Amino acid sequence: MSLARLNKLTAALSAAGLECAVAIAGPNLVYLTGLSFHLSERPSVGFFPAGADPVFVVGRLEESKLREGLPYPARLFTYTDADGPAGAFAQAAQALAGVRRLAVEARRMRVMELRLIEAAFGRPGVDEAEALFAGLRMCKDADELAKMRAAVQIAEHAVLNTLPHVRAGMTEREVASELLVQTLRAGSDADLPFAPIVASGPNGALPHANITDRRLQAGDLVTLDWGAAKDGYVADLTRTYALGAVDPELRRIYELVQAANAAGRAAARPGVTCASVDAAARQAIAAGGYGEYFVHRVGHGLGLEGHEDPSMHGQNQTRLEPGMTFTVEPGIYVPGRGGVRIEDDVVVTADGAESLSSLPRDLQTLPG
């Protein structure tokens, strides 16, 4: 699998007229090697030149992982904590003699790696590699989709086991703790894509609310946004629940978001733009008079990362292709009142789109 991905990268480099791609510890290196490296004070860097074997610089403690786990030939240069990495980077530059420009992860590479590369390569030309890596990763293969389906099942199992514990008087922190425990018990990787969000009552007006010690009250809407991971691939789901009876405005807001979620999912199919999916969901909310309270894009790509390409915003003219995976998560956030978000994980199919998530989207009422 990783060999096929390396071949795809080599072809993409040649098509883009790029000499060498560089990936540090993180999802792109996982994608290209099948191996995971910690992002730490010890840099782990892979150089992927067009037309030559990859070159890796890693700490000595990672040497056996690479030698035993790589599915293709590579040149490997290691360092110890006592020696530091500069010498290994210099050896890598010698092995890549003739490379004058490097395509790097501009969003992820740290100054530390960049300075080591500049010193070793004599300040090479630097290009951004985001589009290159996104082009490789946006369309998921069958193995990737199987892992994402498993992550979604874990996430759904976790929340279903959490809801019976949720009641008035609990704090948001207590709900989040229960959800986190249930996610791990359900089989998630320990490295979750993000910490769960629990936003109750007026805190629901904050799309990325911090967990607080606010106690849940009867009449609240409670938004749960949580994730899970399976073999590195992630799920990202949101549901909003009623704690007892809620007032008519909050129920109306919920119905608008539910309609927007359905419209966004229905709009997704091969050939349409990301912007058109955003527009379909946004129109459903605007028609109900709450357009100004939908304050974010309709979704984001999903896979090895909780947020990756494609970005499902109103200006993105990228056309959807089979295998692309992303969230559809419209929301309404009214300051002082509360908010609603309903989020599903979607994959584009040959003739439409499939929701990987299947939790109910009707308003579910928990005991108040």
- Confirm if 109 and 39 have CB atoms less than 8 A apart: no
Token duo for residue 70: 């790589």
Element (H, E) at 12: helix 2-16
Fold of 2-137: Creatine Amidinohydrolase; Chain A, domain 1 (3.40.350)
Note the pLDDT of residue 123: 85
**Which residue stretches of the chain have pLDDT < 70?**
1
pTM tops 0.85, yes or no? yes
Closest C-alpha to 302, from 100, 155, 129: 155
Kindly report, as residue ranges, where domains of CATH 3.90.230.10 are found in the chain. Answer: 142-366
pLDDT tens profile 70-90: 999 999 999 999 999 999 999
Kindly report, as residue ranges, where domains of CATH 3.40.350.10 are found in the chain. Answer: 2-137
Token duo for residue 311: 């970005």
Q: What percent of the chain has pLDDT over 70?
A: 100
Note the pLDDT of residue 1: 66
- What 285-293 contacts at long range (C-beta under 8 Å, 24+ apart), as own/partner pairs, is 285/256, 285/257, 285/259, 285/260, 285/330, 285/332, 288/252, 288/256, 288/259, 290/253, 290/256, 290/332, 290/334, 293/332, 293/333, 293/334, 293/339
Closest C-alpha to 74, from 23, 143, 11: 23
Secondary structure letter of residue 229 according to DSSP: E
Identify the architecture of domain 142-366 in CATH.
Answer: Alpha-Beta Complex (3.90)
Token duo for residue 289: 């008079």
pLDDT tens profile 123-136: 899 999 999 999 99
Please calculate the CA angle 358-247-203 and round it to the nearest 5 degrees: 70
Q: Is 177 exposed, middle or buried (0-12, 13-18, 19+ CB in 10 A)?
A: middle
Q: Dump the DSSP string for 90-146.
A: HHHHHHTTT--EEEE-TTT--HHHHHHHHHHHTS-EEEE-HHHHHHHHSB--HHHHH
CA distance 69 to 221: 48
Q: 350: which strand partners?
A: none
Dihedral, CA atoms, 85, 88, 92, 97, nearest 10 degrees?
Answer: 110
